[in-house]
A and B are shown apart, each in its own frame.
Chain A
Amino acid sequence: MSNHAASPTVATATLGDRARVADSVTRSLKRRYAAERRFRLYGLSAIIFSVLALGLLMVTIVSKGLPAFTQATIRLDVTLYPQEIDPKGERRWEVLSGADYQGLVRESLKELFPDVSTRKDLRELYALVSPGAAYRVRAMVMDDPSLIGQRITITVPLADDMDQFAKGHISADDAEGSRRVSDQQIAWFERLSDRGLIERSFNTTLFTNGDSRSPELAGVWGAVVGSFWTMLITLVLSFPLAVGASIYLEEFAPKNRLTDLIEVNINNLAAVPSIVFGLLGLAVFINFFGLPRSAPLVGGMVLALMTLPTIIIASRAALKSVPPSIREAALGVGASKMQSTFHHVLPLAMPGMLTGTIIGMAQALGETAPLLMIGMVAFIVDIPAGPLDPATVMPVQIYLWSDAPERAFVERASAAIMILLGFLVIMNLLAVLLRRQFERQW
């Protein structure tokens, strides 16, 4: 504007205006920069919130779960009285398996504390040791009947409440009525501890056993095997179906109503709540087709339907990223459309498809809700031997344990979460490595 200013008066006025504008801009700039910094801070704090949430989650789980990897044990000398186990000396299977081993373990506890006599005190004394002790003795005798009559030394887990006390989760300072361990039991524990009979060792039970009513005998192996069978079924069903569907939709499908319908369908299925798939499994697979409840077969089928959209979407993206020149070159040297797809495009898209599959499987491995619908929440002690045996899976086991009133089960739930997260980390690392290894820039 000043260019047009002819008279000096106008020029001064403009200069004054200009100064005022510049002044107000400088003043507002301060405000605007403050707003800028504030806004930036909001963004940063949003991210810090997420990081803190993740950190808190991990810290809670690890701090709760680590103690579950050790277990307080007690060394007991058990005398295998022949008159108690096998009075007639027959060594028959029924006699040996039905003998009162519980009584023998109790006898050995009584030997440690001969002065305990009333029935109530005895019950408290017996409650120190896990019921698993009797099973251990039984297994040893059944294995080698020549032990009968001898005195054996066994190391068995303490009962879960004593274990919690040993780990310091139950404080002796609390009022006696408010904790699950009595003063007397604490005194006994101290005496045993002084005599060097109590140890804390690595909890192998956690990795070898199925579920149990007693926390100290409960392990995740049953759930791990259940998860394995379920994932196997899921993989066998979803991978070929997803690859087939994505090849058809990406390479062969004509543009028409039907393929549009399929596309919309797949996108929507990906967003259907997982619990709805559970309802589908219950109504169709179990009630209509009469497949067994609680079986990994049904769980795998439900999860396969659930992960199908995820894998299809990833596989289509992988196929899309293969450049058309590959197809055209194959067609140009006389391959049929099918040959060009299966011999050239598919192998190039395979790493991407596998990555998508691994991610879909990781999702399925962590899925709980649909499996609750089809009865995989049953209390199952045995390790499933095949996809038709009743089984439970890792996440469901975590759910069951974290619902239990015993603190020791909650501890094991955290440990199971750590194991589950370990599997998920491995799967995701695999996906990342696969992507890195085979990623190609065309």
Chain B
Amino acid sequence: MSLGLLIVVLLALSTLAFFLGKRRALASSGGRARMLHSLPAYYGYYVAVWCAIPALAIIGLWIVIEPSVIEWLVVSGLPEAERNLPPERLGLLLNDIRNLAGGNIVSRDADPALVKAAEFHVYLNGVSHVALAIAAIAAAIAGMTYARQVITPRLTARNKIETVILWFLVGCSIIAVLTTIGIVFSLVVEAARFFAKVSPIEFLFGMEWSPQIALRAGQVGASGAFGAVPLFVGTLLVAFIAMCIAVPIGLLSAIYMSEYADARARAVIKPILEILAGIPTVVYGFFAALTVAPFLRDMGQTLGLSVSSESALAAGIVMGIMIIPFVSSLSDDVINAVPMSMREGSLGIGATRSETIKRVIIPAALPGIVGGFLLAVSRAIGETMIVVMAAGLSANMTANPLEAVTTVTVQIVTLLIGDQEFDSPKTLAAFALGLVLFFVTLLLNIFALHIVRKYREQYE
């Protein structure tokens, strides 16, 4: 029985349990629902929950432990010589057995022992599926019967159901925390494996980045260099260009919208900025790589400058355009949060609007604007598709925006695209870069949110 079918059967059983429970509750009170502690439906839910949850728990447990139990059984069924193989070779052998069992192509000739093991594997899988189906359905029926037995008019079914729901809600909230733990854990574990091979000092302060790993021993340039400084420089260069575009334009747009534009103009401008914010980054990447970069190259040629066809400038400009709506909406919020009395005070003593903005509103909103700026920087550092498509792969240490640079995110993508073995430093380096990226953006975000919140409280 497949897992999907099993779930469907359990759903059907739970529905049945609901009606059984409801009927039982009514029967136990002699048909007078007023005598019951809770509404009849709650008794139905009570029985249905008792029917579904133990069975689902069994299925969950089975999904987690089944593969290792089967593996253990298959290994202990192997001949003595193969059982004592070192772990990596045993892993390969098991892989072959699994492939053979699944009817796939195998990397070696199938000797009788292997075929036997594969057949054993198939057999065990079958047994385990049947056993699971029987266990789950038995648990469902047992739970249902038990819950039906305990129904009396005085059973506090509603409170029990509400407790279950509350725990479900708590579980939903915990997912967010689990995600963060999962991110930190996976990045730290893989990065630690990387740092066991390459020293963190070399990684953080090394000046050369060329993560090629030799295919054969003794190949030229086999060592691979993992000095990430060129990546950091490239990332900062692109982010800097982006900020040079996004901050003045975003801020001025926000000022114009909140201080000058009338309601009608706002109704036109706001959606346009929202459209800019809603365009997928891959579209910006396409625009950068196929329109802006060639344009800059041609313009460079007419001016006698050599502009690389994948320049930091093209990626930075387009990234800046992408971040404009982000900066402008954050600035809009903080500018609107400045109390009207401050504006009126300034205008009342004869300052012009622009003087009010420059001398009163911006200073008052400055912490919030700085917070928004930091959030925008963190966005620029973490942005991937634009730089992957427009900034290139060569790890140049340069501050010249006309040259190709590479960034942390580009390298993460290139190191991880395609087939990889999971223990080469090349693959693991991506996780080390990811760890750096995560912590830098996290610090920026925490700092920025702290500033924004502190500032917001000032005027509330």
Say whether B287 contacts A279, CB under 8 Å.
no
Q: Which of A40-90 contact B (CB under 8 A)?
A: 40, 42-47, 49-51, 53-54, 56-57, 60-61, 64
What is the distance, in angstroms, from A24's C-beta to the closest C-beta of chain B?
A: 14
Task: Please indicate the chain A residues that have their CB under 8 angstroms from the CB of B278 in the complex.
Answer: 362, 366, 424, 428
Say whether B256 contacts A36, CB under 8 Å.
no
Across the interface, B280 reaches (CB within 8 A) one of A45, A47, A337, A424, namely: A424
B15 at the interface (CB under 8 A from A): no
B381 nearest CB neighbor, chain A only: A273
B448 nearest CB neighbor, chain A only: A271
Task: Please indicate the chain B residues that have their CB under 8 angstroms from the CB of A273 in the complex.
Answer: 378-379, 381-384, 409, 437-438, 441
**Once bound together, how far apart are the Cα atoms of A245 and B176, in whole Å?**
9
B73 at the interface (CB under 8 A from A): no
A103 at the interface (CB under 8 A from B): no
What is the distance, in angstroms, from A291's C-beta to the closest C-beta of chain B?
A: 11
B307 at the interface (CB under 8 A from A): no
Say whether B441 contacts A272, CB under 8 Å.
yes
**Once bound together, how far apart are the Cα atoms of A284 and B190, in whole Å?**
11
10 smallest CB-CB distances across A and B, nearest first, come from A273-B382, A366-B280, A43-B256, A244-B172, A283-B186, A46-B252, A39-B354, A248-B169, A369-B384, A245-B172
B186 nearest CB neighbor, chain A only: A283
What is the distance, in angstroms, from A376's C-beta to the closest C-beta of chain B?
A: 10
Between-chain CB contacts (< 8 Å), 17 pairs: A32-B352, A46-B252, A47-B252, A53-B321, A268-B180, A268-B442, A273-B379, A273-B383, A280-B186, A283-B189, A290-B67, A308-B175, A309-B176, A312-B176, A395-B282, A398-B282, A417-B283
Say whether A373 contacts B413, CB under 8 Å.
yes
A287 at the interface (CB under 8 A from B): yes
Of listed B169, B187, B273, B417, residue having the most chain A CB within 10 A: B169
A111 at the interface (CB under 8 A from B): no
**Once bound together, how far apart are the Cα atoms of A113 and B307, in whole Å?**
47
Task: Please indicate the chain A residues that have their CB under 8 angstroms from the CB of B422 in the complex.
Answer: 287
**Once bound together, how far apart are the Cα atoms of A378 and B29, in whole Å?**
63
Chain A 391-425 near chain B by CB (<8 Å), digits 1 or 0: 00001101100110000001001100100110010
Give the A-binding residues of B (Cβ under 8 A).
67, 158, 162, 165-166, 168-177, 179-180, 182-183, 186-187, 189-190, 248-253, 255-257, 259-260, 269, 272-273, 275-276, 278-287, 289-291, 321, 324-325, 352-355, 357-358, 375, 378-379, 381-385, 388-389, 409, 412-413, 416-417, 422, 430-431, 434, 437-438, 441-442, 445-446, 449
A12 at the interface (CB under 8 A from B): no
Total CB contacts across the A-B interface at under 8 A: 250
Say whether B162 contacts A399, CB under 8 Å.
no
Chain B contact surface mostly: helix
Across the interface, B282 reaches (CB within 8 A) one of A56, A308, A366, namely: A366
Task: Please indicate the chain B residues that have their CB under 8 angstroms from the CB of A308 in the complex.
Answer: 175-176, 179
Task: Please indicate the chain A residues that have their CB under 8 angstroms from the CB of B169 in the complex.
Answer: 244-245, 247-248, 252
Chain A 240-266 near chain B by CB (<8 Å), digits 1 or 0: 111111011100110000010110011
Say whether B389 contacts A399, CB under 8 Å.
yes
B355 nearest CB neighbor, chain A only: A32
**Once bound together, how far apart are the Cα atoms of A247 and B166, in whole Å?**
10
The bracket for how many chain A residues form the interface is 35 or more
Say whether A33 contacts B252, CB under 8 Å.
no
Say whether A402 contacts B389, CB under 8 Å.
yes
**Once bound together, how far apart are the Cα atoms of A33 and B352, in whole Å?**
8
What is the distance, in angstroms, from A178's C-beta to the closest C-beta of chain B?
A: 17
Task: Please indicate the chain B residues that have their CB under 8 angstroms from the CB of A421 in the complex.
Answer: 279, 283
Say whether B253 contacts A47, CB under 8 Å.
yes
Task: Please indicate the chain A residues that have their CB under 8 angstroms from the CB of B353 in the complex.
Answer: 36, 39-40
A112 at the interface (CB under 8 A from B): no
Say whether A279 contacts B417, CB under 8 Å.
no
**Once bound together, how far apart are the Cα atoms of A226 and B413, in whole Å?**
21
What is the distance, in angstroms, from A442's C-beta to the closest C-beta of chain B?
A: 21
**Once bound together, how far apart are the Cα atoms of A262 and B423, in whole Å?**
34
**Once bound together, how far apart are the Cα atoms of A132 and B389, in whole Å?**
30
A399 touching B252 in the complex, CB below 8 Å, given contacts A247-B169, A279-B187, A369-B409: no
Task: Please indicate the chain A residues that have their CB under 8 angstroms from the CB of B381 in the complex.
Answer: 273
Task: Please indicate the chain A residues that have their CB under 8 angstroms from the CB of B283 in the complex.
Answer: 57, 61, 366, 398, 417, 420-421
A267 at the interface (CB under 8 A from B): yes
Say whether B180 contacts A276, CB under 8 Å.
no
Task: Please indicate the chain A residues that have their CB under 8 angstroms from the CB of B183 in the complex.
Answer: 272, 276-277, 279-280
